[in-house]
Amino acid sequence: DTEVTQTPKHLVMGMTNKKSLKCEQHMGHRAMYWYKQKAKKPPELMFVYSYEKLSINESVPSRFSPECPNSSLLNLHLHALQPEDSALYLCASSQAGWGQSNYGYTFGSGTRLTVV
């Protein structure tokens, strides 16, 4: 298995809803990442988990809450989002732990989130 799987592919939620995005990889990768991408912009790093510990939080608002239940799974819990949070949310993983080396990331196909 050489893929990063993200579910759901599409999500529409209201500003008072609570939802979660899920990411899974079975490549034995040691670091997992959440990125946010707005239209026609590059992906922006949100969170990094390395060896199941949160290593980087890029000053992301608390309405986004990451969780890494085990080495293969990464969740992003969403609560009280704003319309401007609508974006493509990408999960990625890398073989090396965070900051050890850039051996390349494997990205999932993303979750298209729309906040209404």
Partner 1 sequence: LAKTTQPISMDSYEGQEVNITCSHNNIATNDYITWYQQFPSQGPRFIIQGYKTKVTNEVASLFIPADRKSSTLSLPRVSLSDTAVYYCLVGDSTSGTYKYIFGTGTRLKVLA
Residue ranges in contact with partner 1 by CB under 8 A: 4, 42-45, 48, 56, 88, 90, 92, 98-99, 101-110, 112
Q: Minimal distance in Å, beta carbon 67 to partner 1?
A: 20
CB of 57 to partner 1, least distance (A): 11
CB-nearer residue toward partner 1: 64 or 105? 105
Residue number with CB closer to partner 1 (56 or 80): 56
**CB closer to partner 1 out of 72 and 106:** 106
| Residue whose CB is less far from partner 1, 3 or 52 | 3
Contact present, 52 and 12 (Cβ < 8 Å): no
Sign of CA dihedral 94, 100, 103, 105: positive
Least distance in Å: CB of 16 to partner 1?
27
Shortest approach of partner 1 to residue 100 CB, angstroms?
9
CA 66/CA 73 separation, integer angstroms: 11
